[in-house]
Amino acid sequence: MNKKNVAVISGLVALGLGGGWFGYQSTLYKSGTVVAINQQKVKLTGLSKQQAKKALNATQQTYKVKVNDRQTTKTVTVRVQPKLTDSDLKKIKNGQTSAITVGIPTTQTIVNQLQKAKLASKTNQPKNARLVRTSTNYTVKGGQTGGSVNYQQTAQRIITAIKQNKTNQISVKAAYQTPKITKTAMQAKANQLNKMIAQNLTVTVNNKTYTVPTTVKAQAVKQNGKINKNPLANWVTYSLSVKTGSYNHKIKFKTHNKKTITLTNTTAESGIGQYVPAKTTAQKLATALTTGQQLNVAAKLTGKKYEQNFNGTYIELDLTHQHAYMYKKGKLVVSWPFISGKKSVGHATITGVYHILYKDRTTATHKVHLRGGTADTAYDSVVNYWLPWQSSGYGIHDASWQKISNFGKASVNSQVGSHGCINTNPTIMKKVYEEATVGMQVVSYGTLGQSL
């Protein structure tokens, strides 16, 4: 190898070594590179990337967190070892050496510190929001936050503040245990129910339209969104039927002595009167409320119209004179004296219009057993014939314990009056029982009676 070639090779080697040195030097941080981390300054001059990462990660971060409790303010110290990424180091090398926040503490780390601080002394539990039904709608009550601190949520607030502020001085408000059912969620449910109640719901009977009151709809709409049909059925029976039919209407009745009297309570128990069928109409109304469709419901009157003196077939109980009359198609078939309920002690027989519910009598395996109640065993009696004409226990039956001479005498009612039933002489009761039919109207009136 001649001297010329040796000189060329030596120059290339020197150039290579020089280039490698300068390349190495370029990977080091420039003179004066200082990073402020957690209010501490770390010099990185002449350090490699790995050396810089090690130096920075050795700097423990300390966060002073002021937690504002309802009762007091406490400072919680949270320490975290930083972990810088290559991206962080690249920013630093490019001259972005302002204060940086790295190594965000975990939620559990902060929770541990908060629990040690024992923020709140109150421990009352949160109260769930609940629906309260008024006469016209649903309102929301409750939904109160409890007194116990929600450490998980408070820790999340601290982490958010650290990320946003990039400083070790943090101030947050403590989060508290919230109810499982909030006012917001419950209000949405209330709005849904109130929307159902606000629908214009009507019933058309005989070409006339009647509006279901808001109070009735509010009673019908349940908290789960389903419909309670009872309030709707009651409105149909006690309001709509009264307006459109003949229930509770006054009727004229001619007594056995040709005197015309006015009877007022032609109710369902009378078996007389036209009415809107409650069950089927209430079902239609419930469907309309639920679906929001066909909010006008059509209904027809049903039942029997009142014909003068029930077309001549009925039992007339004259309580004033303690005497009964049974007519069939206008013909008197049985007439008998009786003893009614003892008015002096509050057991007066009820007045009004009713009908025979069923017929029953003693058999070899069955006894009709009338009981006046545990406090009045004097009316604990077994009878042979029983004709009930009102659902709570009023009826006509034989009374073998009564003196024959007392039947039909109003003057002895205060001494021998019944518990409310029509006591009848056993010798007459057999014919009364045979002539009576289920559904036959019963009219009760007079001074020794009481309205139901």
Q: Which residues are catalytic?
A: 397, 421
Residue 423 has phi, psi (to 5 degrees) of -75, 130
Residue 161 has phi, psi (to 5 degrees) of -65, -40
Q: What is the DSSP letter of 70?
A: S
Q: What is the DSSP letter of 169?
A: E
Cα–Cα distance measured from residue 353 to residue 297, given in angstroms and rounded to the nearest whole number? 31
Residue 299's contacts (CB-CB under 8 Å, 6 or more residues apart) are 203, 204, 205, 236, 240, 276, 277, 280, 281, 284
Contact (CB, 8 A) for 138 and 194: yes
Residue with tokens 């350090």: 47
Q: Which of 226, 202, 228, 229 is nearest to 214 (CA)?
A: 202
Contact (CB, 8 A) for 447 and 320: yes
Contact (CB, 8 A) for 249 and 312: no
The two structure tokens encoding residue 145: 């936050």
Largest Cα–Cα distance of the chain, in whole Å? 168
The two structure tokens encoding residue 134: 């008024």
Considering only CA atoms, give the Rg of the chain: 47
For 263, half-sphere exposure in the C-beta direction (CA atoms, 13 angstrom radius) is 32
Contact (CB, 8 A) for 220 and 281: no
Cα–Cα distance measured from residue 365 to residue 383, given in angstroms and rounded to the nearest whole number? 14
Q: Which of 85, 185, 193, 94 is nearest to 138 (CA)?
A: 193
The two structure tokens encoding residue 387: 């004709």
Calculate the alpha carbon distances from 422 to 43, 110, 174, 269 in Å.
Answer: 114, 85, 78, 18
| DSSP string of 241-262, one letter each residue | HHHHS-TT--EEEE-TTS-EEE
Cα–Cα distance measured from residue 262 to residue 253, given in angstroms and rounded to the nearest whole number? 6
